[in-house]
Amino acid sequence: MSHLVFGVFQLRPHRIQQRNAVANNLAKTFYNTEFARAALLLHRGPDGASYEEVHSKGPEFEEAAVVICTSFETMGLLVYRRIAEFDIVMDLAGGLAASMFRKLEGWIKGKREVVSQSSWAEWFEWLATMSIKCRDEYRITKAEVANWKPLESGPGIPWRLS
């Protein structure tokens, strides 16, 4: 019985530690030079570019599209499986996910046909759709930022808006 009680008390710190580790790993995605270059390159292009348009620009553009898709695909799946918290992903990348999907939607549809895989980048599409659907609900306001204070709790407790 004492092992059960001990286990229950250890569960909360473990979850906090896991949440922090996932958030840290997600944040590293945006400090990745390859991801940053890919996003910058694709932001220069039009919204909804077709598969053929992206393909015709050369391998650099296609590689950028794959980097963006696979990064957001991973994030989308982690959110859906509740490994990464939706609010953290929205704060880190909600707007970027929506904007990148808007740029790549036509290319993704064409890529699905070319590789005969209708599920290609589906978690990226889901994440972008959820980002657009919930953008106002998860947006941090200037007032919240201005009134932010650290928690007075002990170490390992995540920081929150007050």
10-residue mean pLDDT series, the chain (162 residues):
58 69 71 92 95 95 97 94 88 92 97 97 97 79 79 57 47
pTM: 0.76
Is position 159 within any domain? Answer: no
Residue 15 maps to a domain: no
Closest CA to 73 of 10, 12, 127, 111: 127
Give the pLDDT confidence score for residue 121 in this predicted structure.
97
Q: How far is CA 64 from the centre of its chain?
A: 16
- Please tell me the predicted confidence (pLDDT) of residue 17: 73
- The answer to whether residue 110 is domain-embedded is yes
Residue 111 structure tokens: 């890529």
43 found inside a domain: yes
Structural domain for 59, as ranges: 21-146
Residue 106 belongs to some domain of the structure? yes
Q: 2 lies in a domain?
A: no
**Alpha carbon distance 103, 40 (integer Å):** 12
The pLDDT value given to residue 71: 94
